[in-house]
Structure 1
Amino acid sequence: MRVLIIEDEARIAKRVERMTKDFFGNTLQTLKVVDSLHQGLEYINGKNLDLVLLDLNLNGADGFEILKTAVSEPFDTIIVSAQKEQALTAFEYGVIDFVPKPFNRERLDYAFQRIVSNDKSSVNGIRFLAVKKRGGIDLMKVEDVIYIKGAGVYTELFLENGNKELHDKSLEKLEQLLPDSFERIHKSYLVKMTEANKIIISSGSKYELELANGVLLPIGRTRYKELKEKWFQ
């Protein structure tokens, strides 16, 4: 695990650092603590990370500037903040958990456990996926995504307007973050099932999913039965 803590209160930063070390133990590869928005953004741009623990109020600077960057990056984010009223908005950016201050070890450990178990039960409010463009980041609405194709450590987003965009998060990561309306139909495809029309079975036990726009996508043989029972009864 490669972890970054962004927290401007030294006492809390040390506490989060200690709890992070205790939980991840020998699996912790790097752990960096910074106390400002600028330092956080600078470190994110230069490092490969697995997890960011983020306060939303950083000496008056808005931690959501980090979240706008985070949605285009492959790492997970846990918010540790007293701004409880911002929790719903934070989840829209795909954070794994929102740990309100004051917090205890049990609550932070619970958030860490979500990371290691790929639990997405409370992150299905995500509304945006970010695409890096020259000169900035564009936020794509999840509701505009029809299906997603895996492309190694990246993914390709296929949108309602016919456009295709490259995204930095893997298919496995997006499967964890996206709402339950998105279904993994194949090792290489995630589909918004409200766009699904029917299953087509061809000779040789070949299964395909026909979308409302006529696109045909392969269905993995091990996924066909569950997909049929769940969505086409």
Structure 2
Amino acid sequence: MRILIIEDETRIAARIERMTRSFFGQKLKQLDHCDSIADGLSFLAANEVDVLLLDLNLNGEDGFEVLASVVSRSFHTIVISAYTEKAITAFEYGVLDFVAKPFDENRLAQAFQRISTPEQSKGKGTRFLAVKKAGAISMIETKDLLYIKGAGIYSELHLSNGKSELHDKSLEKLELLLPESFERVHKSYIVAIDQCEKIMVNSGSKYDLILKNGEVIPIGRTRYPDLKAKLFDQ
């Protein structure tokens, strides 16, 4: 686990560092700290991280400048900020969690737990997924998603307009961010529930999901019972 803290208050940064080391223990490979937006962006441009812990007020500068620049990247972002009025916007832009200051070790551990136990995590209203394309970042609304297909360390976003975009986050990481209106139906697919038309039961205990646009998505055997109950047994 490689973690970067962007926090301008030395005392709070030291506290976050202590709590982070306590939670991750030997899983923590690298922990770095930057105290300004400029230093944080420079570090992220030159280094790979797994988690960013971001304050939103850095010496009077807006941490959303960092968020807007890195939201399309492969790592998760946890905001730690006193600006709770910005929490909804932060979630809409795809942060994993928003920890309000002042906070205790238990609250920060809850945020870290979302990384460690993804099966217990659900998105909190992510409205956009950011895609970097031709040097610019475009925001895709989740309501325009039909399904997402895993593509190694990346993900393919398939949209209602027939287009597709490549996202730098893996399917596993996107699963943590998406709202409950999306369902993991296969190791390689997440679908929008409102786009599901019917389930096809094939020979050999194989199952397919037919979307409203006619596309066919495979269903994992272990996921079939829960999906069937959720979609059609109500």
Q: What TM-score range do you get, normalising by the shorter chain?
A: over 0.9
Q: Secondary structure at the match of 1:23?
A: helix
1:161 has 2:164 as partner? no
Alpha-carbon distance in 1 for matches of 2:40, 2:9: 14
Q: Which residue of the partner structure matches residue 202 of structure 1?
A: 202
CA deviation vs aligned residue, 1:85-111 (integer Å, no higher than 9, x gap): 111111112222211112222222222
CA deviation vs aligned residue, 1:32-78 (integer Å, no higher than 9, x gap): 10011111112112222111110001112211122223331121111
Alpha-carbon distance in 2 for matches of 1:227, 1:113: 25
Q: Is residue 52–residue 77 contact of structure 1 (8 Å, CA) maintained in 2?
A: yes
RMSD between superposed Cα atoms in Å: 1.4
Q: Which residue of the partner structure matches residue 83 of structure 2?
A: 83
5 Å-filtered alignment, 1:71-220, equals 71-118=71-118, 119-121=120-122, 123-220=123-220
Q: Which residue of the partner structure matches residue 16 of structure 2?
A: 16
Q: Is residue 185–residue 191 contact of structure 1 (8 Å, CA) maintained in 2?
A: yes
Query: TM-score, length-normalised on structure 2?
Result: 0.94
Q: Which 5+ residue runs of structure 1 have no aligned equivalent? A: none
Q: Is residue 2–residue 49 contact of structure 2 (8 Å, CA) maintained in 1?
A: yes
Alpha-carbon distance in 2 for matches of 1:201, 1:113: 37
Q: Secondary structure at the match of 1:77?
A: strand
After TM superposition, give the deviation of residue 202 of structure 1 in Å: 2.8
What amino acid does structure 1 have at the position aligned with 2:187? Answer: K
Identical amino acids, percent of aligned pairs:
59
After TM superposition, give the deviation of residue 9 of structure 1 in Å: 1.1
CA separation of 1:13/1:133 partners in 2, compared to 1, >3 Å: closer, same or farther? same
Alpha-carbon distance in 2 for matches of 1:112, 1:203: 42
Q: Is residue 3–residue 50 contact of structure 2 (8 Å, CA) maintained in 1?
A: yes
Alpha-carbon distance in 1 for matches of 2:191, 2:111: 27
Query: TM-score, length-normalised on structure 1?
Result: 0.94
Greater mean deviation of Cα atoms: 140-149 or 17-26: 17-26
Aligned length: 232
After TM superposition, give the deviation of residue 24 of structure 1 in Å: 1.4
After TM superposition, give the deviation of residue 165 of structure 1 in Å: 0.3
After TM superposition, give the deviation of residue 147 of structure 1 in Å: 0.3
CA deviation vs aligned residue, 1:145-184 (integer Å, no higher than 9, x gap): 1000100010100001111100011111111111111111
Q: Is residue 3–residue 30 contact of structure 1 (8 Å, CA) maintained in 2?
A: yes
What amino acid does structure 2 have at the position aligned with 1:230? Answer: K
Q: Which residue of the partner structure matches residue 37 of structure 1?
A: 37
What amino acid does structure 2 have at the position aligned with 1:144? Answer: D
Alpha-carbon distance in 1 for matches of 2:176, 2:195: 20
Q: Is residue 207–residue 218 contact of structure 2 (8 Å, CA) maintained in 1?
A: yes
Q: Is residue 78–residue 111 contact of structure 1 (8 Å, CA) maintained in 2?
A: yes
Q: Secondary structure at the match of 1:103?
A: coil
5 Å-filtered alignment, 1:222-233, equals 222-233=222-233
Q: Is residue 154–residue 167 contact of structure 1 (8 Å, CA) maintained in 2?
A: yes
Q: Is residue 207–residue 219 contact of structure 2 (8 Å, CA) maintained in 1?
A: yes
After TM superposition, give the deviation of residue 130 of structure 1 in Å: 1.0
Q: Which 5+ residue runs of structure 2 have no aligned equivalent? A: none
Q: Is residue 96–residue 120 contact of structure 1 (8 Å, CA) maintained in 2?
A: no
